Amino acid sequence: MMSEEGAPARRPKKKLLIASFARLFEAKLRLCKVYEDDVCLCILDSNPLSHGHSLIIPKRHFSSLEATPPEVVGAMCSKVPFISKAVKKATGCDSFNLLVNNGAAAGQVIFHTHIHIIPRKASDCLWASESLRRRKLKLDQEALRLARSIRDRLQFVESFDESKGQGSSLLGS
C-alpha cells in the first residue's frame, strides 16, 4: 500500500490489530478445527466454559444473527446434531447447551455470528440458577399485545412462506 506521496502508507493501528488477530486465529484454527465444509466450520472455543466447548462459525463475515442470511444459518444449524453428538461422546457428557450471544447486551464479544455448543454434566454449576430465574408468563392483555406486535413485525422470505403447511404446527395457521 502506498501513500499519495509514494512512500509506504502506514496502516491504522486498528487494521494492524485486526490483521494480527486474523493471523493468530488462522494458526489456532488449524490446530483446533473440528469440522469444515464450504459454508461453515467448527472449532474449539479458545475460552471454553467446559471441556469440548465448540463454536460453529460461518466462513463469510456477518456481525449478528439477523444479518446472517437464512441459508447460512440453516447450514450452521444443520451441523448441530452430528457435531453435538460427537462432542458429547468425546467429552463423556450427556447434555449440552446451544447458545448464540447476539449483541453486546447478550454477551457477544466477537462480532462474527457463531453458535456455541457447550457440553454439560450434572452439577457442573456453569450457570447459577438464580441468575436465570424464570417467571410464569401471564396470559393477559400485555402478553397478547406483545405476541401480536412480534407477529406484525415478522418479515418472512418467500421460500419460508412457501414452506408453510409442510410440517406440523403446535398452534396451527
Q: Check the CA dihedral 133-138-139-141 and report its sign.
A: negative
Average of per-residue pLDDT across 41-61:
92
Q: Which three cell numbers stand for residue 102?
A: 447476539
Split at pLDDT 50, 70, 90, the class of 67 is very high
Which has more confidence, 70 or 9?
70
Whether the pLDDT of residue 38 is over 70: the answer is yes
Q: How far apart are CA 80 and CA 71, in angstroms?
A: 15
Q: Are 128 and 51 contacting, i.e. CB atoms less than 8 angstroms apart? A: no
What percentage of the chain reaches a pLDDT higher than 90? Answer: 46
Q: Are 135 and 129 contacting, i.e. CB atoms less than 8 angstroms apart? A: no
- Model confidence pTM above 0.75: no
Ranges 45-49, 66-70, 157-161: which has the least confidence: 157-161
Instruction: List pLDDT tens digits, range 130-153.
Output: 566 677 777 788 888 888 887 888
Q: Which structural domains are found in the chain, ordered by start?
A: 25-124 (3.30.428.10)
Instruction: Give me the pLDDT at residue 15, please.
Output: 53
Q: How far apart are CA 38 and CA 59, in angstroms?
A: 8
Which residue of the set 51, 53, 114, 116 is catalytic?
114
CA distances from 16 to 6, 12, 13, 21, 112 (A): 20, 6, 5, 8, 18
The reply to whether 53 belongs to the active site is no
Whether the pLDDT of residue 164 is over 70: the answer is no
The half-sphere exposure of 44 on its side-chain side, counting CA atoms within 13 A, is 16
**Beta-strand runs (E) in 64-153:** 95-99, 115-120
Q: How far apart are CA 148 and CA 172, in angstroms?
A: 15
Whether the pLDDT of residue 59 is over 80: the answer is yes
